[in-house]
Amino acid sequence: MSDAPTPPRLFSVGPPQPGGDDLTCEQARRQIERMIEERDLKEVERHLLLAHVRTCAGCKAELESFRRLEVRLKESFANLDTSPHFNERLMAALPAPGSSDSPEWSRALKSAAPAKKSAHPQGPPSGAIVGVQGKRSLWRVYWLPIAMSAMIAVALTATFLRTRGTESDAPPMVANLTGDARRTHAGIQSPLQRMDPLQNGDLVSSGSEPVNMTLTSGGQLIASVLLAPDSQLAVSNRHQYRVVAGAAYFQVRKDRPKASAAEYFEVDAAGAANVRVTGTAFIVDVAVAPQLLRDQRPTSGVAMVCVEEGSVEVHSAATRSKTQVVAGKELLVTPTETALADSDIKARLSRLTQSSVSAAVPVKVETPAVKPVPVESPRLPPTPAVPFSWDMRVEAPLDLAGKTLAEGIEELADRLKRPPQLAALAEQMRGPLVARTELSFSIHSDMPLRSVLAWMARDVGGGFETGAEGQKPFFTTAPKGNLEGAAGWGAPPEEIRKALERSMEETLSESRTLAELVDRLSRRAGVTMIAARGAARDAFDRKLAEQRIALSGQTVLQKLGEVLKESQLGCAWYDHALFIAPPSRIEALTNVERVVPLNSALIGQPVNAAWVSDLKELVRALRYPAPALPLRGVHLQLDALHGDASLAEAKICAEVPSVDIGGLRFKSGVLGHALVASTLSELGNESPLVSEVAGLLSQPVTPGPVSDMGMLISQAANMVSIKPKVRFPALSNQAFVFKGISLGEALEWSAWTSGFGLKLEQNSIVISDLQDCYGPPSLQVVSLAPLVARKPNLAAEFPELFTRLLPQLYPTFYADTRVRCIGGKLVFHGDRRQLQLAQRLRSDIELALDTPAAAKLDTWVPPYRQSIQANLAEPFQGTGKLTRSFAGLLRQSELKHQLRCTVLVDPVSMRERAADQITDLDVSNSSVGKVLEAIAAKARLKVILEGDIIWLRP
Amino acid sequence: MAWSDAELVSRTLSGDREAFGKLVDRHRRTVFALALQRGFQPAEADDLTQEVFVKAYKSLGGLQDHAAFARWMYGIAGHVLADGARSQKRHRNEVALESAPEIAAESQTQGPGRDTADVLRALAELPEEQRVVLTLRYLEGLSPKEIAERLGEPRGTVRSRLHHALQYLQLAFGFKAGAGAGNSAAGSGDVAEGAVR
């Protein structure tokens, strides 16, 4: 591991230094308080805070102290409640309605009840008459002011409605606009601009190019409208439009604003084909023939309605028909008839929007006796040769710097011949974020479309997701680090490194901003480089403004190095671009959960202790981030391992090459990922022996009894340095039966039986007291998120599963530990070993979720426990009665052969009772477990199943 | 959709006793917790909680702003609990809180455990207004904004009370940074991770 190549320094994030993060300690503490008190930290703030607390012990302690307090408070309040039948008793204690002690309001209610009956024909009771009379007298007194007030109110309302219109008449707004359009308002023509309202009677005209508009009302999207060249669209209000000339395509949103559920969306095709739709998402494609309009022929229009989702009702004014159209169908509305046909909505969308409607030719209806227009409209452009994919390459260069996100998308759409998927994405281009923030980078090397969009989003402080299959892509306001399918982390690939070696003699001293500098470097190398926005970049910009910085390096790479040095920024190859940002930011942004497949590295390889040890050391380092280990300062947290065996148990790899190891899952920043990747790469290449320590741990122990710990240590000491820090009792006469267990595990269990622990320290195995090895008991938290993510429907069952299984599987470890579930996390007070066991159980459960066992989680136990239980239930092969010493019986050959798991005996008991004679132990018709129990009982010991071992103790 | 307090009050006033039951369901744990924080035994706290709601029911006609039911009812709770403390001469004492589980078991009332007793004892040292804020936060899980709306107090005031209460409790429990046992590397990493999520 230590020989594993690390990425070049230029691309290394490096260990974040205390105080070197974006946050100062004071800021971090304020954030912590805010997080605890308000819970309103944004994603970026959380990442920054996380990055800070990782490197700052003081703030970490502060955060932990708050968390502990929160947990304690929540736990304390969680179970506080009144007695079980409190409500019933209370309701019984409330005064009965009408009783003497009932409240005044209740009595009034009682007396008022008959008043309601006053309208009854039988005649009102007297009380009611009084009430009515009272009201009548009031009316007599105030009738004049009331009447005047009503008249004024009516007048004001009428004035308001005349001037403002009703809500449903609120004008639509052009939230987004591409192409040159003109608006004719009150007879005056002017260029249509973004954010212009469209008022009643307005006429929008396109020129020789198509016009694409996104219409909103009250901030909510109504529809996307594509107006063909030389077309005209008359607007009445937000839901009534008329295609006066040419053709228009409307994609109407399901969630468009409506004054009422009955509000329809109407598109009038030249007064002939009138489409009125109430319902969900649909498309209206309308064309008219203007020359026919001039003839005032009423049969000049045609409309196509495609239903995207749900069902809609289409009214055809011309034929006076009403047709129900469901999703997947389309309705052709002509002046004389309507024709329903199957619709491929995606194909239609694609055809309608690809390369705009520039080629659109309005349907010409020759005669009033119109033939049904073919469903395949002649004005649709041909399907492009290259199929759309979010991973399709975007060829460099693509100038984006200085453009808004909306403009950037348009630029991209143009480059890719306007695929409909991007048109759909463009619908989201609204709001101040995308309207005002200019992109700060350009694309100088080919990138996948997905990456371009993600970088554009990140650059304006947001995120981009393509979502699950079938979902539409969307921009988010929360930054998202991980990308599906994104490849390349940390160090750039070879071809990029070569590109960075290009010579560059200019000093670039005229550059005034970091973004500008980076863009120049980027352009020269032909590599996309992106400088993150933020305080660090601003500070460097100020520095650049105050003093000219001349870069003396002869290559792009050297100059980039100088920039990074001057700006104190880091650089990492991330998602097909060189990302320049503060180190903590890079780690935070790229701090994502990843899965590295291990199969290719491990399965099918010859037995090689070297990569076993490498991997073991890596895992040890991940699990025990001791200061001496080379991964210090790198955030890398092993979360779980897919496969039949836990990596920590060293049962995989060389010894069991057939085990299907799914992958190593971990959470890390770019450098952590680079380290894992390079380690695995080295493992795959049969790397030289790096460390013997981990190799030791993975060596299988020869099955059979071990007479004492000293022998075990001697066996291990041949391979590695073992440093007992404690006086270790000799485990003479111990009757270990090691099966399916590694030497490291055997050592750890052996140490544990004597109340000690094991830890790795500077390539040595240290045997020390439990606290030294596993830390003092403290609050431990295990997230259940990985399980919930896999089976959300079982989320409610997981906490109970853990609280049942942990004490059941590890009765000694969890004897006095109360495990609770708080906010989707297991919380308990324990040491690191207990934490590891809980994490192991989580991995076991996670694996079980993919098997039929998931259906019976309430009775499920891990496979290793099932195996032990099955083993103990097997019939004992021996017969008759046994007579031998306690230790001798444990080593009895039949028992030894039949047991397929490790048996440990409490060392003190073993010392005292090893020689105790047990006579006439009847083993006839007994099971392996019963024999073991009988032997234990004779020695006054109990048989305890502890994890995957059997443990005999008092 | 859940009824608002104001709607439930209106329905109660129109004769719907079930609506009042819903109000009780919604607020009884908070009142019960406030009573426990004053040092009452669970059974006594149960009785006092009942008394608070009976009084609230009887006086409901006088509540002008129905949306302010919770604030108004906490006021009643404050009086009832103070009267209870005076008349029964019950003051906070450790014995009462420590023995709470046994009493709770006898009375079939879910009482505080040892940890809870410690927390309640620490809370008892806080001013009433801080206790209320803390209870609403950690018992009902309300945000400072929601607490401010419920109490009719400025959000800044609520935040300030929460801040001071948490600061005090950190010290009281020895959780303040640097105090108490340190955490293991793996464990603390996990805690920090969880905390920031």
A873 has a pLDDT exceeding 90: yes
Range scoring the smallest mean pLDDT among A217-221, A374-378, A836-840: A374-378
Measured distance CA(A48)–CA(A29) in Å, rounded: 12
Measured distance CA(B112)–CA(B102) in Å, rounded: 10
Residue in A closest to B61 by C-alpha: A105
Please give the pLDDT value at position A282: 66
Please give the pLDDT value at position A883: 87
Which range has the top average pLDDT, A666-675, A826-835, A922-931?
A922-931
According to the 3-state scheme, what is the secondary structure of A295-316?
CCCCCCEEEEEEECCCEEEEEE
Give residue-wise pLDDT tens across range A402-422. Answer: 888 878 888 888 888 878 777
Q: What is the mean pLDDT of residues A862-875?
A: 90
Please give the pLDDT value at position A561: 81
Q: Which residue has the higher pLDDT, A214 or A1?
A: A214
Give residue-wise pLDDT tens across range A89-104. Answer: 888 888 777 666 777 7
Measured distance CA(A127)–CA(A119) in Å, rounded: 13
CA distances from A392 to A395, A416, A523 (A): 9, 9, 22
CB distance from B46 to chain A under 8 Å?
A: yes
Say if strands A577-581 and A529-531 run parallel, antiparallel, or are unpaired: parallel
Q: Which residue has the higher pLDDT, A55 or A335?
A: A55
DSSP state of A10: G
Q: Which of A37, A72, A831 sits opposite B173 (nearest CB)?
A: A72
pLDDT band of A398, cuts 50, 70, 90: very high
CA distances from A801 to A471, A858, A860, B163 (A): 34, 7, 9, 36
DSSP reduced 3-state for A951: strand
* Chain B residues within 8 A of A782 when measuring between CB atoms: 190
Measured distance CA(A700)–CA(B175) in Å, rounded: 44
The ipTM value here is 0.79
Measured distance CA(A296)–CA(A279) in Å, rounded: 31
Q: Which residue has the higher pLDDT, A827 or A156?
A: A827
Range scoring the smallest mean pLDDT among A180-194, A496-510, A641-655: A641-655
| Count of other CB atoms within 10 angstroms of residue A537 | 21
**What tokens does B95 get?**
């014995």
Please give the pLDDT value at position B42: 82
Q: What is the mean pLDDT of residues A740-768?
A: 76
**What tokens does A374 get?**
């073919």
A766 has a pLDDT exceeding 50: yes
Average per-residue pLDDT in chain A?
68
A7 has a pLDDT exceeding 60: no
Please give the pLDDT value at position A491: 57
CB distance from B156 to chain A under 8 Å?
A: no
CB distance from B30 to chain A under 8 Å?
A: no
Which range has the top average pLDDT, A58-72, A201-215, A253-267, B15-29?
B15-29
A363 has a pLDDT exceeding 80: no
Peptide bond preceding A657 in cis form (omega within 30 of 0): no
Measured distance CA(A536)–CA(A545) in Å, rounded: 14
Measured distance CA(A503)–CA(B182) in Å, rounded: 53
Please give the pLDDT value at position A664: 52
Please give the pLDDT value at position B52: 92
Range scoring the smallest mean pLDDT among A151-165, A340-354, A505-519, A665-679: A151-165
Q: Which of B176, B189, B196 sits opposite A637 (nearest CB)?
A: B189
Q: Which of A64, A77, A103 sits opposite B57 (nearest CB)?
A: A103
Give residue-wise pLDDT tens across range A271-298. Answer: 555 666 665 666 666 665 433 333 333 3
**What tokens does A590 get?**
């790229």
Give residue-wise pLDDT tens across range A712-724. Answer: 666 666 666 777 7
In chain A, % of residues over pLDDT 70: 57
In chain A, % of residues over pLDDT 90: 5
Q: Which residue has the higher pLDDT, A20 or A395?
A: A395
Range scoring the smallest mean pLDDT among A59-73, A463-477, A622-636, A892-906: A622-636
A785, A824 contact by CB (below 8 A): yes
Q: Which residue has the higher pLDDT, A872 or A829?
A: A872
A253 has a pLDDT exceeding 80: no
**What tokens does A709 get?**
């710990």
Give residue-wise pLDDT tens across range A559-573. Answer: 888 888 788 787 777
A663, A642 contact by CB (below 8 A): yes
Residue in A closest to B169 by C-alpha: A69
Q: Residue B144 and residue A38: Cβ atoms within 8 Å?
A: yes
A481 has a pLDDT exceeding 80: no
Please give the pLDDT value at position A810: 92
Domains in chain B (CATH in brackets) are 1-94 (1.10.1740.10), 125-197 (1.10.10.10)
Q: Residue B193 and residue A783: Cβ atoms within 8 Å?
A: yes
Measured distance CA(A530)–CA(A580) in Å, rounded: 6
Binned average pLDDT, 10 residues per bin, chain B of 197 residues? 81 85 89 87 86 90 86 88 71 33 30 66 82 88 86 86 85 58 28 24
CA distances from A105 to A109, B18, B60 (A): 6, 16, 8
Amino acid type, A319:
T
A464, A453 contact by CB (below 8 A): yes
Say if strands A173-178 and A211-217 run parallel, antiparallel, or are unpaired: antiparallel
A11 has a pLDDT exceeding 80: no
Measured distance CA(A647)–CA(A645) in Å, rounded: 6
Please give the pLDDT value at position A199: 77
Q: Which residues lie closer than 8 Å to A489 by C-beta, 6 or more apart? A: A572, A573, A574, A590, A670, A673, A674, A677
Q: Which residue has the higher pLDDT, A79 or A799?
A: A799
Q: Which of A72, A624, A779 sits opposite B119 (nearest CB)?
A: A72
Q: Longest C-alpha distance within chain B, in Å? A: 60
CA distances from A316 to A277, A333, A343, A369, B92 (A): 10, 7, 19, 17, 79
